[in-house]
Amino acid sequence: TRGVAFLDCPISGTSGMVARGDGIIFVGGDRAVYERWRPLLETILPRAVHVGRAGQAMVLKLVANLLVALNSAAAAEALAMVERAGLDVPLALDLLTSSAASSRMLEVRGPLIVKRDFPPQMKLDLFMKDLHLIQEAAGAVGAAVPLTDVAERLYAAAQAAGHGGEDLAVVVTALARR
């Protein structure tokens, strides 16, 4: 193994964010190796950040996806409530994204939820794998993730209804049936 080094370098961001150069590369591994390869990594995305030892970048990526799952489900739940209350949904989305309630997922997935059109930026089938990895990683480090467990059931219901090839914003369909 002499002369061999390893960095784990998962990317965080939707496909659109990455295409615009707005994604982030989380880098785990020896800092000297990171510094050596940083210029190359920054040709992929301008922000490549060393987060710790090998393996820790993947943990941070799972934590980022945990927040994506919860924020996307929360956006779907909020907009479903707006719709059921008879409010102007596009107006409410505009106001919410300009308020203290805004989140990146409300901005990214809110329009998909409003239009009920879910072209995949992150396919639900693939995201379910990430949710299960999040639950496994949480168990391995002894972290409780009760909100993730609830969200996973909602995403699983949307997947079971045949929406696995659509964007994870399709979780709103599981809420609409409740």
Q: Are both 163 and 83 inside the same structural domain?
A: yes
Q: What is the DSSP letter of 168?
A: G
Residue numbers of the domain that contains 36? 7-54
**Residue 12 falls within a domain, yes or no?**
yes
Task: Quote the Cα angle for 57-70-18, to 5°.
Answer: 50
**Residue 18 falls within a domain, yes or no?**
yes
Q: Are both 50 and 82 inside the same structural domain?
A: no
pLDDT tens track for 51-77:
999 999 999 999 999 999 999 999 999
The answer to whether residues 26 and 32 touch, using CB atoms and an 8 Å cutoff, is no
Q: Is 173 exposed, middle or buried (0-12, 13-18, 19+ CB in 10 A)?
A: buried
**Residue 21 falls within a domain, yes or no?**
yes
pLDDT tens track for 108-149:
999 999 999 999 999 999 999 999 999 999 999 999 999 999
Tokens of 155: 């995403």
Say what the pLDDT of residue 103 is. 94
Give the pTM. Answer: 0.90
Q: Are both 42 and 66 inside the same structural domain?
A: no
Catalytic residue from among 61, 115, 123, 129: 61
Active site residue 61: yes
Q: Are both 99 and 136 inside the same structural domain?
A: yes
Domains contained in the chain, number: 2
Of the pLDDT bands very low, low, confident and very high (cuts 50, 70, 90), residue 16 is confident
Q: Are both 93 and 137 inside the same structural domain?
A: yes
The answer to whether residues 176 and 114 touch, using CB atoms and an 8 Å cutoff, is no
Task: Quote the Cα angle for 159-130-17, to 5°.
Answer: 95
